[in-house]
Amino acid sequence: MGTLIMKFGGTSVGSAAAICATAQIVQAARPVWPQVVVVASALSGVTDLLLKGAQTAADGDAHTFRSIAQDLRAKHFSVLSDLIKPPEQASVARATVEVYVGEFESLCHAVNVLGEASPRALDAISSLGERLSVQLIAAQLKAIGVAAEPIEASELVVTDGHFQTANPIETLTRAKTRGRLLPLLAKGVTPVVTGFIGATQDGVITTLGRGGSDFSAAILGVALDADEVWIWTDVDGVMTTDPRIDPAAQTLSALTFREISELAYYGAKVLHPKTIRPVVERGIALWIKNTFNPKYPGTQIVRDNGHVTGRPIHGGVKAVAVIRGQTMITVEGRGMLGVPGVAARTFGAVARTHTSVSLISQASSEQSICFTVPDSLTSSVIAAVQEEFRRELADRDIDAVTALEQVVIVTVVGAGMRHTPGISGRVFGALGAERINIIAIAQGSSECSISLIVDQQDADAAVRAIHRLIVNP
């Protein structure tokens, strides 16, 4: 075997015991894999604390961020005291934590003085969680005899300047990553790299978006021509649905890239959506595994070759996911009938607000178009669409641009659905039996997924009704 990228999420490094388990997993991989790179998230809950400090500081609160700084010290010092016993090593580690927490206080103080938390400032502040966690993980690896070095991904991942959701520049990232990491790997050192963050060409820290450590693992996997990427989380793999909604959820042994892409996009939290593309394009094997049950094989994500991969539990359907916090916006009017370009203008207006549309449902006549966006962006999107069609609204060619708030998208996924007649009918029948109203429907021609909009209060019941079709045919 060659190069393995192992990414550990927040729960995998959320305590001293979890970090010990993570270090043991890395240690066990070393005899099998000559080159191992670790990518780590912040300790669970830390990023939320950092962002809370920034937001309260921007709102004029000069006390909360200082209280949060104390909490951050206590949390990381507590983990250190359980991990590192030699006094001299503990002293060095505590000093490093103090530097980063001090940086947090200084940045929040600046935000408080300015009364504004810019995207650039938020990236600098939210990056501190990962910068802290890699210090602890590397220290524990060294303590059990694994040569390791903490690395900040700002030295490796070169991005554009789109703060909070930065995009990597592949050629520059590849050159910097290989230049920095290959010499370490050649010496048998395990780099422990901060997930989630990168830097512009000028060295300004950026972040890849929440959950971006998965994406970081894929970026490094591509840059290093890795053989496999393993995403370690707190579940046994990708499940047929969220077990918190239905305890009957089961772990899937395999999914295609297309199936996991649909699930990730529509609410399954096990994998960041952007992780998939760079990995599939290079043919790198991708696994989802459980830090707290490392002997379980997990879920393998495989190339979509047009055939059904992994036995669907029932009728071609593999999983059902839900994405919450959505608003359905409808553009409708009899004057739209047969008029070309209405859809293009609608989504052009939405694009100008930098909003990603989650779902689109449209009749071929274009008499009405409906789509969903996150609740928080509803007002800006409606304003943009109304401005785009200002003349048509005045002339009554378009009757209205309306919003239906507090809806969710429930998505049924399975590549085998296209080969199985009657899937849609069984899904709609299951929801009808529970008296759940379907507001809108969207289905691709490939039939890899069917997405339904239902009222927010019906979300869990809808998921359970569809999930019964999967596990209890």
Of residues 77 and 336, the one with the higher pLDDT is: 77
Residue 338 is predicted with a pLDDT of 65
Q: Quick one: average pLDDT of 142-162?
A: 95
Count CB-CB contacts under 10 A for residue 328.
Answer: 22
Residue 289 resides in a domain? no
Nearest-5° Cα angle at 318, 315 to 319:
130
Least confident of 159-168, 224-233, 236-245: 236-245
Q: How far apart are CA 222 and CA 227, in angstroms?
A: 9
Tell me how many domains the chain contains: 2
254 versus 120: the higher-pLDDT residue is 120
- Reading the block at residue 358, the tokens are 């989650």
- Determine the straight-line distance between the first and last CA of the chain, rounded to whole angstroms: 41
Inform me whether the pLDDT recorded for 365 exceeds 60: no
- Confidence label for 308 from pLDDT (cuts 50, 70 and 90): very low
In a shared domain, residues 214 and 334: no
From 234, 261, 277, the end of a domain falls on 234
pTM of the model: 0.83
Any domain includes 285: no
Average pLDDT, the chain: 89
Q: Is residue 274 part of a domain?
A: no
Q: Is the residue at 49 inside a domain?
A: yes
pLDDT of residue 31: 94
| Residue that wins the pLDDT comparison between 138 and 340 | 138
Does residue 71 sit in the same domain as residue 201? yes
Tell me what pLDDT residue 307 has.
47
**Both 226 and 350 in a single domain?**
no
Q: Which of 206, 234, 262 is the last residue of a domain?
A: 234
Q: What is the mean pLDDT of residues 20-48?
A: 96
Q: 460 with 361, same domain? A: yes
156 and 19, same structural domain?
Answer: yes
The verdict on 211 and 63 lying in the same domain is yes
- Lowest-confidence region among 22-26, 150-154, 243-247, 253-257: 253-257
pLDDT for 154: 97
Q: What is the mean pLDDT of residues 99-124?
A: 97
Which position has the token pair 């009957």?
248
324 and 457, same domain (yes or no): yes
The answer to whether position 184 is within a domain reads yes
CATH number of the domain that residue 386 is part of = 3.30.2130.10
Asked if residue 334 and residue 198 are part of one domain, the reply reads no
Of 140-154, 160-174, 201-215, 269-283, least confident by mean pLDDT is 269-283
Residue 30, in any domain of the structure = yes
Mean pLDDT of 271-293: 86
Q: Which structural domain range is residue 333 located in?
A: 319-471
In a domain, 272, yes or no: no
Higher pLDDT, 424 or 116: 116
CATH code for position 183: 3.40.1160.10
Sign of CA dihedral 127, 131, 136, 141: positive
- Section 172-195 average pLDDT: 97
**Among the three residues 211, 234, 257, which one is the final residue of a domain in this structure?**
234
In a domain, 240, yes or no: no
Residue 29 predicted with pLDDT over 70? yes
Q: What percent of the chain has pLDDT over 90?
A: 66
